[in-house]
């Protein structure tokens, strides 16, 4: 998503490699904190309330993923607009229009990316490697 946002804001050719890496690291730290303390817990609460009457795990996973994408796109689009204005200067008539444009473009890419590619990939890796490692260490300790 970082490279996509650099592309959208016309920053790919304008930034030095160091600026790109530093923007990525700052964005990663902000996204990690948002995910861990604000968006993640609230997205799970909302999604579990929305799916309270179902036992279908697929609906629960899709609800959590959708809520996460909405929350992260909401906050990280703010970060994108701020960094774009920092690097390129403020040259728009409406920051709200800029934000809504960035949010829409991020949401349109992030939702299918999360639901079709990243979510299933992370769940696969987690169940294949993390859970098997935990169960093996649990068996060894008992």
Extents of the domains making up the chain: 2-113
Q: Is 90 exceeded by the pLDDT of residue 73?
A: yes
Q: What is the pLDDT of residue 11?
A: 76
Q: Is the pLDDT of residue 131 over 90?
A: no
Structure tokens at 28: 């990663």
pTM of the predicted protein model: 0.82
Residue 128: pLDDT band with limits 50, 70, 90: confident
Distance set, CA 51 to CA 19, 32, 43, 64, 97 (Å): 42, 26, 12, 9, 33
Distance CA 61, CA 2 (A): 24
132 — pLDDT class (breaks 50, 70, 90): low
């Amino acid at each position: 998503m970082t490279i996509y946002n650099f592309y959208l804001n016309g920053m790919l050719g304008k930034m030095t490699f160091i600026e790109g890496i530093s923007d990525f690291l700052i964005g990663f730290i902000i996204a990690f904190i948002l995910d861990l303390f604000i968006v993640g817990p609230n997205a799970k609460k909302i999604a579990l309330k929305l799916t309270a009457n179902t036992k279908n795990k697929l609906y629960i996973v899709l609800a959590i993923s959708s809520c996460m994408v909405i929350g992260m796109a909401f906050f990280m689009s703010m970060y994108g607009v701020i960094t774009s204005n920092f690097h390129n200067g403020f040259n728009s008539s409406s920051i709200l229009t800029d934000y809504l444009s960035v949010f829409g473009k991020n949401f349109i890419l992030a939702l299918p990316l999360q639901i079709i590619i990243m979510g299933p990939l992370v769940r696969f890796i987690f169940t294949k490697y993390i859970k098997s490692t935990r169960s093996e260490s649990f068996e060894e300790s008992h």
